[in-house]
Amino acid sequence: VRKLRVTLKSPVQDYRITIGRTVLGSVGVQVRRELGPSSRRAIIISNRRVFALYGEPVIEGLQASAFVISQALIGEGERFKSLTSLNRLVTTFSELGLERNDAVVALGGGVVGDLAGFAAAVYLRGIPYFQVPTTLLAQIDSSVGGKTGVNLPVGKNLVGAFHQPRGVIIDTDTLATLPARELTAGWCEMIKNGAVGSRQLFQQTTNFLRARKQAAFVGAHGLDKLIAAHCAFKAGIVAGDERESLKRTDRASRRILNFGHTIGHALEAVTRYRRFRHGEAVGYGMLAAGEISKLLGLLKPSELELLREAIELCGPLPRTGDLNERSIISALGRDKKSIAGKVQWILLERIGTARIVDGNEIGPSLLHEAVRTVLKN
């Protein structure tokens, strides 16, 4: 028997996130700077609505930087984040003759970003891609961190890969056309970041939302700064735990970003993904996790109140009064993030400090009480 050890030196990767107003036109320059003169082609992946709104400056910038451009437009909505779309995209890549140093540019929300990123991850075993996110959720969350993938009919994000983008270009002006509910969903994810990882970020976010509510308009500068703070937060967590290690249960592990997702996913599942935007379901999920934390004696009632106020500032959430806590709790067992069949809860000790708790430590009556309280509110 001969034994050899293979030791890989994982390459150090870093990438730039650019945030500002009217920066769509600079995508070409940034892609060229990153890929150098040998890169010839760029393919923009988007959907019809977003491409009609924002495609032009991106195309012009890429052309001005001497790229040969193509585009592939997918349909609207989560169901297009599928293996069928993936097949179409990689087939198009090969028909176009995309090479190892050519660029995929994802222009759109998280659906486009996850799909385009995954196509870039698997085509030729990985080619460069750039995220140009146009929803609030994608700007503060999905475009940073390198998780890519598609859904299967039986569940979301079940097939995917870690593949970091080579650059992220965030044009905050694109949020002007975003429907109100999409904004609410994004604000909820911002509250989540603060709640689990940074009291200061939580305060910065709630101050912004309060000012926005009062004035109905907040200077764009404040928004750029806020989005930058959230990207920095997410990047910090990802840099410390890129692949969401199962061994980690500490406060800086990537898993803490799943706060609110356990009940959130269950709510989405029992309403067949038709009632909630994901971030809206996470809004309720955070309240439920907060309630559990309080009932366990981990979190002070005054801290839970801060969380409740913050979620209220995000905007109205869909009704839940007709839902039954039993069906939601039975949907928890099918959570993809469970380990050895057990749900791992992300709970709070205070705003800004999370704790990972094993599902065994939470009795069924406590769980029922927490979910009931949140549904009836």
Given 81, 163, 277, 278, which residue is catalytic?
A: 278
| 261 in active site | yes
Q: How many residues bind ligand NAD (CB under 6 A)?
A: 29
94 or 245: CB nearest ligand NAD: 245
110 or 290: CB nearest ligand NAD: 110
End-to-end CA distance of the chain: 65
Please state, in angstroms and rounded to a whole number, the distance separating the CA atoms of residues 117 and 190.
23
Given 125, 272, 274, 319, which residue is catalytic?
A: 125
Min CB(146)–ligand NAD separation in Å: 8
Please state, in angstroms and rounded to a whole number, the distance separating the CA atoms of residues 112 and 200.
31
Q: Which positions from 248 to 287 touch ligand NAD by CB under 6 A, shown as an x/- string? A: ------------------------------x---------
144 or 323: CB nearest ligand NAD: 144
Of 24-32, 58-66, 111-119, 359-367, the segment contacting ligand NAD by CB under 6 A is 111-119
Which residues are bridge partners to 149 per DSSP? 160
Candidate list 70, 157, 249, 271; residue touching ligand NAD; CB under 6 A: 157
| 147 in active site | yes
Given 32, 41, 81, 147, which residue is catalytic?
A: 147
49 or 251: CB nearest ligand NAD: 49
> Tokens at residue 94, please?
């090969």
Given 254, 277, 294, 355, which residue is catalytic?
A: 254
Of 138-146, 244-252, 264-272, 331-339, the segment contacting ligand NAD by CB under 6 A is 138-146
| 234 in active site | yes
Residue 102 binds ligand NAD (CB under 6 A) = no
Residue 141 binds ligand NAD (CB under 6 A) = yes
| 125 in active site | yes
Contact criterion met (CB below 8 Å) for 106 and 130: yes
Of 172-180, 240-248, 327-335, 361-369, the segment contacting ligand NAD by CB under 6 A is 172-180
> Tokens at residue 81, please?
């984040």
Candidate list 39, 65, 131, 142; residue touching ligand NAD; CB under 6 A: 142
Residues ≥6 apart with Cβ < 8 Å to 278: 137, 185, 264, 268
Contact criterion met (CB below 8 Å) for 259 and 192: yes
Strands of the chain (E only): list them.
Answer: 16-20, 41-47, 68-74, 103-108, 129-133, 147-152, 155-162, 167-171, 344-350, 353-358
Please state, in angstroms and rounded to a whole number, the distance separating the CA atoms of residues 63 and 367.
56
| 244 in active site | yes
Of 57-65, 66-74, 75-83, 90-98, the segment contacting ligand NAD by CB under 6 A is 75-83
How many CB atoms within 10 Å of residue 375?
A: 20
Identify the DSSP state of 142.
Answer: I
Within the chain, how many helices (H) and strands (E) appear?
Answer: 13, 10
Given 244, 248, 251, 369, which residue is catalytic?
A: 244
Pairing relationship of beta strands 344-350 and 353-358 according to DSSP bridges: antiparallel
Burial (CB count <10 Å: 0-12, 13-18, 19+), residue 159: middle
Q: Quickly tell me which residue has 């075993």 as its tokens.
A: 125
Q: Which positions from 39 to 68 touch ligand NAD by CB under 6 A, shown as an x/- string? A: --------x-xx--x---------------
Pairing relationship of beta strands 155-162 and 147-152 according to DSSP bridges: antiparallel
Candidate list 29, 40, 55, 76; residue touching ligand NAD; CB under 6 A: 76
- Of 377, 233, 220, 253, whose CA–CA distance to 307 is shortest? 377
Which positions lie near ligand NAD, rule CB under 6 A? 47, 49-50, 53, 76, 78, 81, 108-112, 114, 134-135, 137-138, 141-142, 145, 147, 156-157, 174, 177-178, 182, 185, 278
Active-site annotation, residues:
125, 147, 189, 234, 244, 254, 258, 261, 265, 278
